Chains A and B, each alone.
Chain A
């Protein structure tokens, strides 16, 4: 038996040199004549420890990190293949405090399994959810999702069960679709990417269950073009699932059909909006559609369509295996289950933290995050992507929960938290929010298309010190117009970061007001 060594092939780990580390381990093992079996897993999500190398020992997986290629000879010298002592050793991976306190349901296999192997997936409990689903009536699957309290993790937090029921209730005998929104464009978010790269079969299984629940035979994953690693992982996994007959004309011997295809986006943030994504999947400009009709009734190619985010669909197998009640047992209020939170930006220990809803921002930023990466005080965090409000330090005790954040005028969105230290210039961040909206507006409605450009111009005048007070008032009015008058969330929410910057950090604007 050769020793098994895990080196992540997750894009984030690769970006820090995991590929070079894997090559160095293979070369050093060959040089010493010590055979090792290298496995490429996803990331555990502790990016501050990446590249995180794990060795399978008699006592379980033992972690070393962050490892560079230059550390490899000393790791061998310390007999890391048998868990030897080394400055980079963290002991049992599961016992690392940052990971140990997490409640990993959706991410239970991410970083643990080989993302290219169906058999590894099955050995770790994979496809048990599908098995349960196939023993149920479709309506009972939908009921289980409704009872779990699962809400859309893409950002809108719409109850998933209601969406599925609407598609389920459309007359049978017509083509229905399951579409997965993998256009994870919010800055500060990477949970979709981690699932697709680290445990793609969970997403595939979730989509298959969705297809069986609503009577859809075709699924599409709409993946952003900025994710080439996820694209490769999904293509490999889909081919393997088809080969093992978990996809195709006879899913797991049930006689039911479900086909799945990945389609690439092309660098348009707006295509994360569901109707715009459908337009793009149909091969058109990603301009938003006016609702109604809802996609659940008239969606892709005019047919009843589920549109769910990656994490939403990837949560489905766990719910089927453990039951709706078990899932709903996590969380608080109307936010049931767990949320894979992404801690990003200027933070010492950033990464993926899956926890039940309800922990505080402060706990995340200081207990998990360890404060800012720069060592300076944290001044603000932006939660929920480029359309989310900036939250001042005075409100860090707020709970991570859809309603609690809405209560302070913020939003949870896709669960990304971007941290800024006290060197941040909030007037510039406000300008960026408008600039981003101008770059990414689909152009269909005027408040977004023109408003965002005017917003940049007004903030520029404020920054130049021209007529400050008057321009701040004008900016506030413009924000209100965009919020009230835009067709979708891009123009309707891009003012949120601007408004929050004006509300909590007015001094950054006032410094330029004469």
Chain B
């Protein structure tokens, strides 16, 4: 196991090797997408879906298979907010911080969530249960403030509702 990259990331991670099982997953994903036009984002989505994040060790494998440089792949991974370079908590809690949700108290809700979970945005609780992320619009702006937990959307989220949702997810896994 390699250490997860630091929050600021490294320009080019030293060669980190994946476990044979994870390598096989990455190779299979790349093989499935090879030949499609412009496949890199699709490949990275699939790797993240399979492994939970995009390990630094996956970058050279993807680069080699798609005939790209490691810098190009690294550049894409780091450009997009959605791609993670470290494992997330068991549950990812995304709180919308855009204008519409701000108009309905998103900042106060975020402060409550930080305090309740004991972490800041972009962090994971020490027990590995929750990761907290800001998101800029979930398209639920007539039901602000909005949150998404593991792909499930919630509207008109109050501090009480947030606590209930978190309690639910604490017991379900």
Contact = CB atoms under 8 A, between A and B. Distances in A.
B143 to A, nearest CB: 6
Interface string A250-279: 000000000000011111110000000000
Contacts of B83: 266
Contacts of A432: 99, 102
**Interface residues of B toward A: which range?**
35 or more
Nearest to A269: B136
B100 A187 contact: yes
Going nearest first, the 10 A-B pairs with the smallest beta carbon separation are: A283-B40, A350-B142, A344-B141, A187-B98, A266-B80, A267-B82, A15-B155, A47-B142, A267-B81, A345-B103
B34 to A, nearest CB: 12
Given A16-B155, A344-B141, A345-B104, A284 B40 contact: yes
B12 interface: no
A61 interface: no
Nearest to B45: A264
A358 B138 CA distance: 28
Q: Which of A15, A50, A186, A225 has the most CB of B within 10 A?
A: A15
Q: Which of A189, A266, A301, A343 has the most CB of B within 10 A?
A: A266
B39 A268 contact: no
Interface of B: 37-42, 44-45, 72, 75-76, 79-83, 98-104, 135-144, 146, 148, 151-156
B139 A11 contact: yes
A226 to B, nearest CB: 6
A285 B151 contact: no
Contact of B143 (A15, A192, A266): A15
A48 B155 CA distance: 11
A184 B144 CA distance: 17
A286 interface: yes
A344 B100 contact: yes
Interface string A281-325: 111111000000000000001000000000000000000000000
Determine the main DSSP class of A at the interface with B. mixed
Interface stretch (A23-31, A101-109, A417-425): A417-425
A386 B99 CA distance: 7
B141 A190 contact: yes
Contacts of B153: 11-12, 14-15, 229
A344 to B, nearest CB: 3
A485 interface: no
A438 to B, nearest CB: 12
B41 A264 contact: yes
A228 interface: yes
B99 A188 contact: yes
Nearest to A433: B99
Interface string A224-252: 01111100000000000000000000000
Contacts of B152: 14
B38 A266 contact: no
Contact of A16 (B138, B151, B156): B156
B119 to A, nearest CB: 19
Interface string A33-61: 00000000000000110100000000000
Contacts of A347: 142
B136 A346 contact: no
Contacts of B75: 285
Contacts of A227: 139
Given A47-B142, A47-B143, A268-B80, A283 B41 contact: yes
B37 A301 contact: yes
